[in-house]
Amino acid sequence: MTHTALHFAAAALSDRGRKRAKNEDAFGYSAEHGVYVVCDGMGGAAGGEVASTLAVDEMLRGFAERGALSGVRRAAEDAAVAANNVVFTRAQRYPALSGMGTTLVALVVKQNAAWVLNVGDSRCYRLRCGRLEQLTHDHSLVDEQVRMGRITPEEALRSPLRNVITRAVGTQEAITPDCFEFQVDPGDLFLLCSDGLIRELTDAEIEVLLQEGGSLEERVQRLVNAANAAGGRDNITCILVQAFA
C-alpha cells in the first residue's frame, strides 16, 4: 500500500449524437481542485441546456470556494446543494425555464482518495486491473424496480419507463446527493458519463473499449464514436480521469 500522493490526468468530450437537435449535456472540470462533473439536462425550450450548464458551473465554483475551508466530502455535498439552489431558483424566476432540471455526477480526487457524488442517472465507473465496475446507483424508476427484484436488468434496458428519474438537480427545493468515498490505486481509470453512452453500449463493450489503451483523448473519442455507431440516439458525454503514481 502506497501513501505517495497520486497525480491525475483527464480528457473529456461531449457530442450531440445523431438524433437530437441540440446538446443538453454539459461537463466541466478543474484539475487544480481535483473536481470533475457531468450533467444531463432536461426540460422544455432552453431549459435542459440552462440547467446542466448552471449546475456544472456552480458545482465547480462552489467546490473551489469551499474546498479549502471544510472537508472534501462536506465541500462537495454543499456545492451540489448549492447547484440545486441555483437551478431551482432560476426555474422559479423564469416561466420559460419552469420545470427544468439536470442529473449530476461528480468525481472529486485528493491524494489517494476519491469521492463520487450522484443525483439522477448519469454514472461513474472505475476500470481497475482491466475490470469495469459501476460506482454509482441510478436514481431511476427502473433501477429501483431491478433492486426490488421486480424486473431484470435486461428488462430495464427495454422498459418504456427507463427515462423516469427519481432524483434530479433543480426540480425540487432540497436534494440529497449520494456520496461514496473510495481509495484510489495508481492506474485507476474513472469514467463519468451521461446515459447517452450507457443506452448504446453495454458495460462489457465499454470495458473492452477502455482496455484497448491509447491516450485518454483517444479513448474518450473511441467511446463517443462507438455510441454514435450504435445509434447515437441521445447526447453523449464522457470524462476520463486516470490516477498515476
φ, ψ for residue 4, nearest 5 deg: -70, 135
- Supply the angle between the helices 47-67 and 72-93 in degrees, to the nearest 10: 150
Subset of residues 83 to 112 that bind Mn ion, contact rule: CB under 5 A: none
Whole-angstrom distance, CA of residue 18 vs CA of residue 76: 34
138 binds Mn ion (CB under 5 A): no
Give the angle 133-145-143 at the CA atoms, nearest 5°: 30
Nearer to Mn ion, 73 or 233 (CB): 233
Size of the site for Mn ion (CB under 5 A): 5
The distance of closest approach from Cβ of residue 122 to Mn ion in the complex, given in angstroms and rounded to an integer, is 8
Nearer to Mn ion, 189 or 227 (CB): 227
Q: Provide the 8-state DSSP code for 114.
A: E
Reference 193, options 206, 182, 181; nearest CA is: 206
C-alpha cell at 81: 446543494
Whole-angstrom distance, CA of residue 173 vs CA of residue 43: 17
The window from 33-41, 67-75, 109-117, 127-135 that contacts Mn ion (CB under 5 A) reads: 33-41
Whole-angstrom distance, CA of residue 224 vs CA of residue 234: 11
The window from 8-16, 168-176, 195-203, 222-230 that contacts Mn ion (CB under 5 A) reads: 195-203
Which of 37, 38, 40, 100 touches Mn ion (CB under 5 A)? 40
195 binds Mn ion (CB under 5 A): yes
Subset of residues 216 to 235 that bind Mn ion, contact rule: CB under 5 A: 234
200 binds Mn ion (CB under 5 A): no
The distance of closest approach from Cβ of residue 212 to Mn ion in the complex, given in angstroms and rounded to an integer, is 25
Q: Which residues of this chain interact with Mn ion, rule CB under 5 A? A: 40, 194-196, 234
